Amino acid sequence: MSDPKFTPRVFSGIQPSGGLTLGNYLGAIKRFVTMQDEAFETVYCMVDMHAMTVWQDPKDLAHNTRELAAGFIASGVSPEKSILINQSQVPEHAQLGWIFNCVARMGWMGRMTQFKDKAGKNTENVSLGLFAYPALMAADILVYHATHVPVGEDQKQHLELTRDIAAKFNHDYGVDFFPMTEPVIEGAATRVMSLRDGSKKMSKSDPSDASRINMTDDADAIAKKIRKAKTDPDALPSEVDGLKDRPEARNLVNIYAGLNEQSVEEVLRDVGGQQFGTFKPALAELAVAKLSPISTEMARLMADPAEIDRILARGAGQAREIATPILKKTYEIVGMVG
């Protein structure tokens, strides 16, 4: 149960570090759309400052930010119902981020598995921003006093860190100022895996394009990637238990369930016993039917980038109306004069 002291408010973001993937769509954006019609204020963000924690060509960053905004809108996020922003246009995120850098502990940050995955053996050479970014993510959320954050499974640890930062801030300053944000990790496909390796998350920055479905892929590309997706030789089971130790089969069934808004049990009831030679074309057909209207609409929106910029500028103004007083109060609490 969330604290009634706080307005029910949703914040979530996606990095413009490449094109949108089916993982982002099923893990996050589908939920963004449903939550804007529930009893929440909703703020959705292109987190451009997070993206630059790894090198981004400036032209690509600008293009990907606009394309991501187009992807949100084409998927059903309405600029009339939700506040749509890019992070760098709302400076309060970075201002609160600095305060949270001083609240978060090195030990906490060092345990973040995403940092370990992304830095690999290269910890000496990655940016300081890559290490610190989960504290900025806590600021993205808490500068709006957001009570709920819809995300994929991979972001669970960062949301626990957000709660730790809020709790330590409240404790250290003797206040009850920041809410304990709830993660919303729901649906059949909260962790979509690579099509080439069922043990790896589907990711925008995977060097293999065949590992993911991009929201801008055309029908042929989608069908080809699904046809070539790694699987095993067995038929599909009729029960969920039968997917145990079959990560690639599980992934394709999860994707089917996520796209068709069914549970995995329901899907298996229909497709149990099928070989992949039958299931894969059905999945490809479903994916094309669900995704091609979105990619068509994205292309239409991208033909008018000035309109996207206007939407983001208007969103920034609306966002700052919420964030400015929260930051001002934070400054007062910590003793900043001004």
Residue 277, number of CB atoms within 10 A of its CB: 10
Selected range binding ligand AQP among 13-21, 35-43, 83-91, 291-299, rule: CB under 6 A = 13-21
Selected range binding ligand AQP among 24-32, 233-241, 244-252, 280-288, rule: CB under 6 A = 24-32
Residue 263 tokens read as: 């549970």
Residue 218 tokens read as: 């055309």
- C-beta closer to ligand AQP: residue 169 or 188: 188
What x-and-dash track marks residues 241-280 binding ligand AQP by CB under 6 A? ----------------------------------------
198 counts as binding ligand AQP under rule CB under 6 A: no
183 counts as binding ligand AQP under rule CB under 6 A: no
Residue 252 tokens read as: 């394709």
Beta-carbon contacts of residue 274 (< 8 Å; ≥ 6 apart): 235, 236
Residue 136, number of CB atoms within 10 A of its CB: 21
Q: How far is the CB of 43 from ligand AQP (least distance, A)?
A: 14
**Active site residues per annotation:** 118, 201, 204
Selected range binding ligand AQP among 82-90, 138-146, 152-160, 318-326, rule: CB under 6 A = 152-160
- C-beta closer to ligand AQP: residue 198 or 330: 198
201 counts as binding ligand AQP under rule CB under 6 A: yes
Residue 318 tokens read as: 């609306």
Residues 48 and 37: their CA atoms lie apart, in Å, by: 26
Residue found by looking up tokens 């290490």 in the block: 131
Q: Give CA separation, 210 vs 21, 27, 271, 295, in Å.
A: 12, 19, 25, 18
Q: Of 63, 168, 191, 314, which lies in the binding site for ligand AQP, with binding defined by CB under 6 A?
A: 191
What x-and-dash track marks residues 286-315 binding ligand AQP by CB under 6 A? ------------------------------
Please enumerate, as own/partner, the contacts of 240-245 that have beta carbons within 8 Å and a separation of 24 or more: 240/264, 240/265, 240/268, 242/268, 242/272, 243/268
Binding stretches for ligand AQP (CB under 6 A): 14-15, 17-18, 21, 23-24, 27-28, 151-152, 154-155, 190-192, 201-205
